[in-house]
Amino acid sequence: MDDFSQTLLAAAQARRAQSIAFLGKLIAAQRSGEAAVQQCFADHLAEAGCQVESLHYAPAKVQMQHEFATGDLAATEERCSLIARLKGEGAGRSLIFFGHPDGEPVKNVERWKHDPFAATLSEGRIYGWGVADDLAGIAIMAEAIQTIVASGLRPLGDVLAASTPSKRHARGVAAVLQHGHTGDAAIYLHPAESGLGMQEIKAICGGQLHLRLTVSGQGPDTQEPGHTAFSHLAVSALDKAMVLKAALDALGNTRAARVRHAGIESVVGRATNILVAHMTCGDSLRFTRVPTRCTMGVSISFPPGESMESVQREITDCLASCAQQDAWLRDHPPVIEWLAGVTGAELPAESPLFDAVSAAVTQVTGLTPFVNAMHTSSDIRVPMVQKGIPTVGLGPLCGDLSQNGSHDEWVDVEDYLRAIAVAADSALRWCGAVRV
């Protein structure tokens, strides 16, 4: 396989200018929206001799195992996934590359120092709206297939490249899998937000839940507009919300001592957390009114191996127990709304897929990769949870992502080119290869 690797590396190096240009084309297309990005992807892979199919689907009709989204967190409009297939030459194992073409809504572009749609190259970086989330991933899988074709090598098994909407629970890759476009393994191509680039492989994905608590209180029995002098006769929803927060904080510490995952703990010291991230109550301009309603936004992270449903039960039981111990909450329990949830998944480091991808990373970069465990709710979970397909993720160094509130989003050019070579090498190591 090393001879094949050298052939692939030479082909990838020969395509350097084309690979950079294609990523620039995707960045420019982003100005016109997702459909324009998808068209670029389809045209590029049709040129490589792939069969390209379109899958139009409604996210709400994609049946998910151990995953849900409701209300504003659930995508409703029809979406389109594209699937490009490079046919194998024999009976090798098949592989699915996937990434997402949809980015953050374009806004605040006046903050950018570089034109967000000009694909500016500067100091070893390429800048553009969505380049790190996830146009580079789309470009990597398309260019990996172009590299394989240009090398004169062919996989024995089929290689699929799927450009699948993902943000806001768009469920693109799940729709692709459920419509029969499956494989023996999958690789999620997405730049590495960790700052470690091609040195890491994403093989561990924690689960996550989002919920909203609504707590009610009661104002004092008075017609006076100011409540301060009467506040001892009222029930503050904020006070009761803090009682519930204390119970959740205590549960979080109890769970951290009981629920264990060595890989996640080795990075951050605990495998699960409960975060109260948002609280709204009262009138921001009237400090003399007792708040009679308070809402809390809560998220829970939990490791692979723990079911989403069991975590939900534990949270619900905790809140119910807390309410029973409080005279007011006993008769006015909080309203719990589960907004979204995903189950975690992981791929053992001794698995054949991990071996193949790890060997490809070493061949191209000269480094021994390690597993980054801190990718809570990463899309690597979808093929594993929904179809039992072993999956890893990888991608180049990036930074200043728009989804984090930053600007001038970028991807490291050399790492992007390395990612193309690694993806191509991984495909042939997994699927097998012949010269044509």
252-279 pLDDT, tens per residue? 999 999 999 999 999 999 999 999 999 9
Q: Which residues contact 420 (CB under 8 A, 6 or more apart)?
A: 12, 15, 19, 139, 140, 143, 144, 147
Residue type present at position 73: L
- According to CATH, the topology of domain 2-205+344-435 is Aminopeptidase (3.40.630)
Structure tokens at 142: 């398309």
Q: How far is CA 227 from CA 224, 238, 243, 290, 321, in A?
A: 7, 15, 22, 6, 31
Assigned token pair, 149: 């074709």
* Pair of tokens at residue 51: 């069969």
Instruction: Give the Cα separation of 333 and 106 in Å (integer).
Output: 41
* Residue 4: pLDDT band with limits 50, 70, 90: confident
Residues 6+ apart with CB under 8 A from 2: 363
Using DSSP bridges, classify how beta strands 67-69 and 95-99 pair: parallel, antiparallel or unpaired.
Answer: unpaired
Q: How confident is the model at residue 303 (pLDDT cuts 50, 70, 90)?
A: very high
Single pTM value for the model: 0.94
Q: Does residue 251 have a pLDDT over 60?
A: yes
Confidence of residue 75 (pLDDT cuts 50, 70, 90): confident
Which positions ≥6 away from 77 have C-beta within 8 Å? 59
Burial of 195 (0-12, 13-18, 19+ CB in 10 A): exposed
Residue 64's Cβ-side half-sphere holds a number of Cα atoms within 13 Å equal to 23
- By DSSP bridging, strand 159-163 and strand 79-86 are antiparallel
- pLDDT interval class at 406 (50, 70, 90): very high
Q: At what angle do helices 16-30 and 34-47 cross, to 10 degrees?
A: 150
What does each C-alpha distance from 169 to 107, 125, 311, 337 come to in angstroms? 21, 30, 20, 17
Whole-number Å distance between alpha carbons of 354 and 347: 8
Q: Are 88 and 159 in contact (CB under 8 A)?
A: yes
Cβ-Cβ contacts under 8 Å for 116 (sequence gap 6 or more)? 27, 30, 106, 109, 127, 128, 129, 409
pLDDT tens string 146-188: 999 999 999 999 999 999 999 989 999 999 999 999 999 999 9
Contact 251, 239 (CB under 8 A): no
Condensed to tens digits (0 to 9), the pLDDT of residues 16-59 reads 999 999 999 999 999 999 999 999 999 999 999 999 999 999 99
What does the pLDDT read at residue 377? 83
Euclidean distance between CA atoms 234 and 221, whole angstroms: 8
Which H helix or E strand runs over 168? Answer: none
Residues 369/362, Cβ–Cβ less than 8 Å: yes
Q: Assess if CATH 3.10.129.10 describes domain 207-342.
A: no
Q: In this predicted model, what pLDDT tens digit does every residue of 348-388 receive, in sequence order?
A: 989 999 999 999 999 999 999 999 888 888 999 999 999 99
Residue ranges of the chain assigned to CATH 3.30.70.360: 207-342
- State the chain's mean pLDDT as an integer: 95
Single-letter amino acid code for the residue at 51? Q
Q: What is the DSSP string of 316-366?
A: HHHHHHHHHTSHHHHHSPPEEEEEEEE--EE--TTSHHHHHHHHHHHHHHS
pLDDT at 196 over 90: no
Share of the chain above pLDDT 90, in %: 88
